[in-house]
Amino acid sequence: MKIGIICYPTYGGSGVVATELGKKIAEEGHQVHFISYAMPRRLSQFFENIYYHEVESSNYPLLEHNLYGLSLTSKMLEVIEYENLDLVHVHYAIPHAVSAYLAKQVLKKMNSDIKVITTLHGTDITLVGLEPSFLPLVKFSIEESDGVTAVSRFLKEKTITNYQIEKDIEVVHNFIDTSLYRKVENGKFKAHIAPNNEKILIHTSNFRPVKRVPDTIRILAKVKEAMPAKLLLIGDGPDRSECERLARELDLQKDVIFLGKQDALHEILSIADIFLMPSQSESFGLSALEAMACNVPVVCSSVGGLPELVIHNETGFIAEIGDTDRMAKYAIDLLKNERKHKVFSDNSRKRAVEQFESNLIVPKYLDYYEKILAS
């Protein structure tokens, strides 16, 4: 097959999943064409059977606002025609699904056609897509896609409810390469972060308000009342300044370590004792899965698709949104009981391998491609 993948190239989960999917599909011998405004972060080296096509936005003075959606449509038409693509797989509905619909209509006028699959990732449905100006377009583009997948049962149900959609939506969970994401020895780095053998809490995200990153600092403050501990924060975004301010306010500036955006996540996750995810909304929780694959138990909020990933009192603990007291209590319970922590760590790794390994999930996408092409 020749497949076009349209995604955001940035640090967010939708771009990561789309890129990793493309890499796995290419390994199976299929030809993959990425179409985006920049090279996806996870394509930092040459991969056989993978090609990248940059979307160039017009800078004509009359066009004051960026017309990325139309530029993307034009680039899609070009790649579909000259590379003879079999289908286009768009990740994140806005504006990708709309651009794909426009491309499909143009091709019909040219007596050609292309199958379009849209994968819904989360905030495109639960946040951005619900804005009144976007809602009709999102609903329309989903209904007009040849196939639709969602990364969790929660997101499927939310889509059907929010947009009154009757179209069949296939649930295909996010996945991970557990041969890469695994616990590795990193004693020198751990000694640098926790020179006095402090317990290490960790969080990674894009620091948007929906991630509630300041809550991780409040949890650390409560954990430190019971034992020495450090908090590693990976990523960057609009809430970073607020987090730095809060750390200073609570006199934790020496215990909260901001690492910024990082690529070798498995090496950093390997030194962690607990992964914190106190999000207000989370369609799946890919970063939590990455931690679990590295034998790190998760303490998270009871939102979205997280209960489909984290098993309470087995691979971690789940608490209500904003209940930092409860989350800290759960973390302390694990950190004080070495045997229990080991069981939870092993359970986390086992669940990642047995339920979310890429070799189990990627074939589901390929089967779905075949189903849509045959429809």
Provide the residue count of the chain.
375
- Give 302-324 as a 3 state SS string: CCCCHHHHCCECCCEEEECCCCH
Which range marks the domain in which residue 319 is found? Answer: 187-356
pLDDT at 195: 93
The DSSP-derived string for 193-252 is H-TT--EEEEEEE---GGG-HHHHHHHHHHHHTTS-EEEEEEE--TTHHHHHHHHHHTT-
Both tokens of 289, joined, read 């899965």
Based on the domain organization, do 346 and 368 belong to the same domain? no
**pLDDT-flagged residues of the chain (< 70):** 11, 60-65, 127-130
pLDDT at 123: 74
Closest CA to 32 of 60, 7, 12, 68: 7
pLDDT at 204: 94
Based on the domain organization, do 340 and 369 belong to the same domain? no
pTM of the model: 0.89
pLDDT at 267: 92
Residue 178 CA to residue 196 CA, distance in Å, equals 30
Helices marked H in 13-118: 13-27, 68-83, 96-109
pLDDT at 364: 97
Based on the domain organization, do 90 and 11 belong to the same domain? yes
Q: Are 284 and 152 in contact (CB under 8 A)?
A: yes
Based on the domain organization, do 268 and 334 belong to the same domain? yes
Interacting residues of 130 by C-beta distance below 8 A, sequence separation 6+: 162
Based on the domain organization, do 18 and 162 belong to the same domain? yes
Interacting residues of 348 by C-beta distance below 8 A, sequence separation 6+: 291, 292, 293, 295, 296, 297, 298, 315, 316
Does 181 reside within a domain?
no
- Indicate the number of domains in the chain: 2
Does 295 reside within a domain?
yes
CATH at residue 78: 3.40.50.2000
Does 213 reside within a domain?
yes
Does 88 reside within a domain?
yes
Residues in a beta bridge with 201: 231, 274
Based on the domain organization, do 193 and 313 belong to the same domain? yes
Does 180 reside within a domain?
no
pLDDT at 64: 62
Based on the domain organization, do 338 and 363 belong to the same domain? no
Based on the domain organization, do 118 and 75 belong to the same domain? yes
